[in-house]
Amino acid sequence: MTKQQVHSGDHTAGIGGAISGPHHPDGSRCAIIPPYLLERLASLDDPGFGRAAAAARHSLVRRTVHSRPTGVATDPATALTTERPADVSRLVRSVFDARGTEDLPGTPVRAEGEPPIGDPAADEAYDGLGATHALFRDAFDRDSIDDAGLPLEATVHFGDAYDNAFWDGTRMVFGDGDGQVFDRFTRSLSVIGHELSHGVVQYSTNFVYEGQSGALNESVADVFGALVEQYAAGQTADEASWLIGVGLFTDQVEGDAIRSLSAPGTAYDDDVLGADPQPGHMRDYIDTVEDNGGVHLNSGIPNKAFHVAATTIGGFAWEAAGSIWYHALTAGDLTATTTFTDFAAQTIASATILFGADSREATAVSEAWDAVGVIPSS
């Protein structure tokens, strides 16, 4: 799989092969592994990757199967906790085990304040929920995902060799991976932070999951997923890896992660998976009808803009660049169909509000968008 440019209006080609007709969002979950990777695996006829191919085919089918609708309370019979705490800044976590089924939420296994249970997936999910909550609370004064103390829930061991992790509108859900290409999805803190950040987007601007607004949805989730990992490790922008999904690939894959914010298109280059197809500049923008209009592809462009801004400013990325992106997301001036140029203009405006028009932060943000070929809307 290689990078390819599909001209606007051409609905006959794209990442993953020929298709026809207009594409519309299918309502599928916001998942960390893009469909073009699963399609690549699903098409394998190498006996050595039979389990991975079968797992990918099943994971693709499950993308369009909805879980519990947003806003529906957990079944009291299986709930660890569903009530919001009186102190909305208090962290409340609940971890469930689907035990290889696709029934949500699963069996409760760990509640807030309880000790580790010895199941790596459950304990990693529990810790990841806490690390994500900590970033948004401490860096941005946000009370959980919805800014109103929402208890955080996660389900582990979803499905049989399920090759994905997703936010379904109410909870995090993690598969165990196929063991040949993907390991368990709780191994990566940036993945946990990414998926929960989709919830932050949902409760703020709620970008439509298609085209440039969908790519911004993915990019914002990548940005805050990276910041969750950096905050937990106490890393500066220069010290951070800027990778999303370290630890997801098994040793059989030639790749560091599933995406790179610092160098989009370089996260992996593997005989089986192909090469990372993400562009990092508007000149390489992929106009396609697949992947909901390239939401996991073109997100590399705003990802790179954030990386440039954060490393130019220096220090801890959540303190300046992260605060600017968070302010832009939550200021209330963006629409659900925001474009790259709209978002660029808002981040520059947010930098001006937070740090001043002549500040190095505002200059860095403006130069970052210029570096990726995005001209802010006036």
What are the domain boundaries of the chain? 36-202, 207-371
Query: What's the confidence (pLDDT) of residue 300?
Result: 98
In this structure, of 17-26, 59-68, 230-239, 240-249, the range with the lowest mean pLDDT score is: 17-26
Q: For 25-63, give the DSSP string.
A: -----EESS-HHHHHHHHT---GGGHHHHHHHHHHHHHT
pLDDT at position 81 is: 41
Q: Any catalytic annotation for residue 83?
A: no
Q: Which of 112, 296, 307, 361 is catalytic?
A: 296
Q: CA–CA separation, 92 vs 84, rounded Å?
A: 8
Contact predicate 11/20, CB 8 Å: yes
Which CATH code for domain 207-371? 1.10.390.10
> Which residues 6+ apart lie within 8 Å of 232 measured at CB?
131, 134, 135, 189
> With 80 as the cut, is the pLDDT of residue 134 above it?
yes
pLDDT at residue 47, rounded to an integer? 77
Strand 165-167, strand 152-156: pairing: unpaired
pLDDT reading at 63 higher than 70: no
The answer to whether the beta carbons of residues 286 and 279 sit under 8 Å apart is yes
Instruction: Report CA dihedral (236, 321, 34, 188) to the nearest 10 degrees.
Output: 30
Helix (H) or strand (E) holding 301: helix 300-313
The whole-angstrom separation of Cα 173 and Cα 157 is 8
Express as a percent the part of the chain with pLDDT over 90.
Answer: 78
Residue 11 is among the residues annotated as catalytic for this protein: no
The string of pLDDT tens digits covering residues 316-349 is 999 999 999 999 999 999 999 999 999 999 999 9
Of the residues 39, 124, 153, 195, which is catalytic?
195
Mean pLDDT of 25-31: 57
pTM, 2 dp: 0.87
Identify the architecture of domain 36-202 in CATH: Roll (3.10)
